[in-house]
Structure 1
Amino acid sequence: MKKIWLSVALASSSLFLTACNDDHDDTSVIVIDDGIPKYDISQPLVVTPENYTLSNMTAVAGQSVKMTYKMLGVNGSEVQATSLLFTPKTAPPITGWPIVVWAHGTTGVADVCAPSKAPLNIYIKGMIDQLLAAGYVVVAPDYEGLGEPSENEAHPFLNLQSAAFSITDAVVAARNYLGNQAAKQWMAVGHSQGGHAALGAAQYASRAQLDYKGTIAVAPASNLAAILIVGEEQAAQETDLESKISTFAMLDTYTALITAGLRNKNPSLTYQQVFKSPTDEIAALADTECSDVLSESLVAAMGQYAAGNGWSLDAYPRTQSNFLSLPEVSQFLSKDSQPLQVKVNQPVIIYQGGADAVVPKDATDLLLSGVAAKQSSIQYHADATWDHGTAYVLNIPNIVKDVQSLMPIQ
């Protein structure tokens, strides 16, 4: 199986690189040293933070607020962004509370899918409770394009730089709001899409011009082309119809979210170029609905088709045969979405489950086999019994200990 993953990755890279270019022509920001644009937003906090009351944090948090501020968007201009911010009940140390960024998993690309618009997941709340009790500020950004209905912009799903700037700019906004109550030390923790974002923060940490201490990434998304290609092959061989539909729906959900996010920078890209009819109409729900509704709609359509075709998905119209080679898609898959393409300077800790069907362990193994990853300081914790959810849930106590080890309270 590992040989299959390696061969798919190599083949997809050679295909996609023919369409790649270094199209980073932003001239509206200051670029120094490592080529990463440094934080230069004149009004980082543009709206007074509002209380976040959807989850009861009063027992452990001194403040629970939703910030609205400016960040540097994927198109090179400043856009409004939102983030949750929680502070400990205890007094800050002399140097201020260190900051932990929580990078959330996939919710969708439509504004309504912003995590700040919903109560905290019970496990996420539990982790935040522990971090607050240990003396850390927790910042939880929505990511670019989520949380601001006034901005007619889709979330650039799994765009590494956008995800990284969503994190760095939220940290700077939090420090501007908290003043000397916040320290310069910070780090990122994320799961799934958030693990991908946390690895992006490691690569682009210098943008914040603060003291970055490290990254904890659980089942981080990477090698998306290989995941799509190998997943397609494995699903096609699946004999259980329910499992086949479930896998195809998952793959098509992520493809739809990728397409929706790409339309931010490439408005001429259409769902019809990526999906066959009538699946293109379902995929277009990504513009307005969250990932769970999108997935359920795809499952329902495939189930209805199978029921009328001898319980078979043969000839079911899903994706276009050539969509991976579309220039916008190939650029994104081969470069714009891939973490750990350069050496990172601070420690990275990765947790990965061998039973993960969303981000397969083979994808993470392949990520860590790269030259840049080998040059970086990375601890890799893998367990054959963890799936996509339990790799995070079962390791929350370890994640908190990791934070305390990488960024002890001064």
Structure 2
Amino acid sequence: MNKHVLTVLMSSAFLLTACGGDDDPIVFDDGVPKNNIDKPFVTSSEYTQDGMSAIAAESRVITYKMLGVDGTETQATALVFVPKTAAPAGGWKTIVWAHGTTGVADKCAPSQQGLKGTQYLLQQLLAQGYVIVAPDYEGLGEPGGKESHPFLNVKSEAYSITDAVVATRDYLSRQGKLVSKDWLAIGHSQGGQAVLGAAQYASRAQLNYKGTIAIAPASNLAAILQGGENAVKNQPADIQIPVLAPLDTFTSLIVAGMQGHKISVNYAQVFKLQTAALAPIAEQECSETVGLVLAKGMQDYASMPEHLNSLEGYGRNQDNFMSIPVIQNFLVKDSQPLSERVSTPLIIYQGGIDQTVPKAATDLLKATAEAKGMTIQYKVDPNLDHTTVYTNNFANFIKDINTLMPSK
């Protein structure tokens, strides 16, 4: 970890403030509105990708009702997989899988573009005898095609999860299938952030939440953005672009995810000329393509003879864009997991050489949570990066799940 990144991450602790409860107008005991949506399951269709239909008794895309980020009921989609094993006496227990960043456009939803490799873990969990629920998240693949996905909004992700679990139980119960009230959540990257949100808002489902496994969870976004900037400051363009393009991708997705909601911001407020012209592609394309487009804009500029492999003068972010009230509120509050105390078990995996979610960011998340009285099992491997911390730990995830919530 570059010492400048570490310094910025640790000095950013002042940005982290508690949310102070739920913002919805109707709240109950712990401040979380309970899911009392009438007939939460809407419809379903068969999911045939990734070979899941061959190994699951049911492989479905369900449409369900959830409470959206704007405080009104909306519809969302989720993948549901039912094991071929017979349900135990108390019914199948449920595992939520929360996916990492794919984008904010509908076509980026896992239910549309596929699981992109995460099916291998889900297949092993199915074999263990768990029902699997994998939400697309609010606005991703949603039936109307009009609502954007509120990217990295913790409450939106959390409600996507809790309400998908409730709807799945409704769907299966209509078939006379017995589903336990026990459930837990596991996720990677954006999904790691999402399952920490699910832990905070788990009471919304009015079921038995057994714990959280967060893998390289996104957190402390302001510090990560500023730390990445500082790490390559004054470097040649070919050194800067591989760092800055992913950072600008995340910022573009954040702004794109705000479009069409009650709280929004204009691209020109956040980005200078060149990037403001490119960033809206985040509304139509998935994250990988967005990153390539943003990188090419910088590369084309730096390749001009008059620029000599420099990004000096290239229009990226507006000065002090993080001080825009909408952006500041998002960075400090809406995107920060574990802003309220969680009492259910929390397990966090982190790679020591992760450049997407640096260890220093997760260290800060852990320290801040522990200062609020939370207990975290923190499992760090110094040799793993953002991808391998997921791919190298399947056996450990399954062991953790079976400890937190045995399938029988």
Match in the other structure for 1:364: 362
CA contact (8 A) 2:210 2:404 kept: yes
Does the residue aligned with 2:69 lie in a helix, a strand or coil? coil
The aligned counterpart of 2:135 is 141
Match of 2:327 among 329, 344, 358: 329
Q: Which runs of 5+ in 1 are unaligned?
A: none
SS in 2 for 1:285: helix
Quick check: 1:192 aligned with 2:196?
Answer: no
**Distance (whole Å) between structure 2 residues aligned to residue 75 and residue 97 of structure 1:** 33
Using the TM superposition, give the Cα deviation of residue 258 of structure 1 relative to its aligned residue in structure 2, in angstroms.
Answer: 1.0
Distance 2:34 2:250 in 1: 31
Matches of 1:117 and 1:371, distance apart in 2 = 35
Contact 1:114 1:147 in 2 (8 A): yes
- Cα offset, 1:151, TM superposition: 4.2
Q: Is it true that 1:96 corresponds to 2:91 in the alignment?
A: yes
**Cα distance, 1:264 vs. partner?**
4.0
**C-alpha distance 367-23 of structure 1, shift in aligned 2 (>3 A):** closer
- For residue 340 of structure 2, what is the aligned residue in structure 1? 342
Q: Distance in 2 between matches of 1:26 and 1:95?
A: 34
Give the fraction of aligned pairs with identical amino acids, expressed as a percent: 53
Tell whether 2:38 aligns with 1:38: no
Q: What displacement does 1:181 show?
A: 2.2
Once the two structures are superposed, residues 175-208 of structure 1 have per-residue CA deviations (whole angstroms, 9 ceiling, x without a partner) of 0111242110000000000000000000000000
User: What are the within-5 Å matches in structure 2 for residues 78-97 of structure 1?
Assistant: 78-97=73-92
8 Å contact kept, 1:351–1:380? yes
Which residue in 1 is equivalent to 2:166? 172
> What is the CA distance between 1:393 and its match in structure 2?
0.5
The one-character-per-residue Cα deviations of 1:35-65 (angstroms, maximum 9, x if unpaired) are 1010011120122x11001221244211100
Distance 1:70 1:200 in 2: 19
Q: Give the drift of 1:371.
A: 4.7
C-alpha separation in 1, matches of 2:380 and 2:294: 32
Letter matched to residue 119 of structure 1 = G
Shift of 1:90: 0.7
TM-score (norm 2): 0.94
Change (3 A) 1:314 1:145: same
Q: In the aligned structure 1, how far is the partner of 2:67 from the partner of 2:196?
A: 18
Q: Distance in 1 between matches of 2:264 and 2:9?
A: 32
Q: Is 1:217–2:226 an aligned residue pair?
A: no
Report matched runs for 1:359-398 at 5 Å. Answer: 359-372=357-370, 375-398=373-396
Counterpart Cα distance in 2 of 1:373 and 1:203: 16
Superposed, 1:99-178 pairs within 5 Å as 99-122=94-117, 124-178=118-172
Q: CA RMSD in A?
A: 1.8
In the TM superposition, what whole-angstrom CA distance separates every residue of 1:368-393 from its partner, at most 9, and x where no partner exists? 11155662221001111110000100
Q: Provide closer, same or farther for how the CA distance between residues 88 and 396 of structure 1 changes in structure 2, counting only shifts above 3 A.
A: same
- Equivalent in the alignment of 2:11: 7
Output the CA distance in 2 between the equivalents of 1:174 and 1:216.
21
SS of the residue aligned with 2:125?
helix
SS at match of 1:55: helix
Provide the rounded CA distance (Å) in 2 between the counterparts of 1:125 and 1:138. Answer: 11
Q: Which amino acid aligns with 2:340?
A: V
**Mapped partners of 1:397, 1:286: distance in 2:** 35
Q: Deviations over 1:219-261 (max 9, x none)?
A: 000000100111111121545x433101110110001111112
Q: For the structure 1 residues 134 and 238, does the alpha-carbon distance in structure 2 shift closer, same or farther, using more than 3 Å as the test?
A: farther
User: Kindly tell me: are residues 125 and 53 of structure 1, through their superposed partners in 2, closer, same or farther at Cα, counting changes over 3 Å?
Assistant: same
Aligned 8 A contact 1:359 1:388 in 2: yes
CA contact (8 A) 1:164 1:204 kept: yes
CA contact (8 A) 2:354 2:384 kept: yes
Give the residue type in structure 2 aligned to 1:132.
L
Contact 1:367 1:373 in 2 (8 A): no
Are the counterparts in 2 of residues 245 and 299 from structure 1 also a CA contact under 8 Å?
yes
- One-letter identity of the residue aligned with 1:219: A
Kindly indicate whether residue 302 of structure 2 is the aligned counterpart of residue 295 of structure 1.
no
Deviation of 1:21 after TM superposition, in Å, equals 8.9
Q: TM-score, with normalisation over the residues of structure 1?
A: 0.93
CA-to-aligned-CA distance 1:48-98 (integer Å, 9 cap, x gap): x11001221244211100000111000011111000000111110111110
Q: Is the 8 A contact 1:262 1:328 kept in 2?
A: no
Structure 2, unaligned stretches of length 5 or more? Answer: none
For 1:43 and 1:381, locate their aligned partners in 2 and report how far apart those are by CA, in whole Å: 40
- The offset of 1:342, in angstroms, is 1.7
Q: Is the 8 A contact 1:342 1:372 kept in 2?
A: no
Output the CA distance in 1 between the equivalents of 2:289 and 2:271.
Answer: 18
The question of whether the paired residues in 1 share the 8 Å contact of 2:264 and 2:326 is answered with no
Q: Look up the SS of the partner of 1:310 in the other structure.
A: coil
Shift of 1:278: 2.2
Q: Count the aligned residue pairs.
A: 399
SS at match of 1:319: coil
Distance in 1 (alpha carbons) for counterparts of 2:23 and 2:119: 40
Is 2:22–2:31's contact at 8 Å kept on the other side of the alignment?
no
> Counterpart amino acid of 2:194?
A
Q: 1:203 aligns with which of 197, 200, 203?
A: 200
Conservation of the 8 A alpha-carbon contact between 2:216 and 2:350: yes
Match of 1:246 in 2: 242
CA distance 1:408–1:111, change in 2 (3 Å) = same
Partner amino acid, structure 2, of 1:196: Q
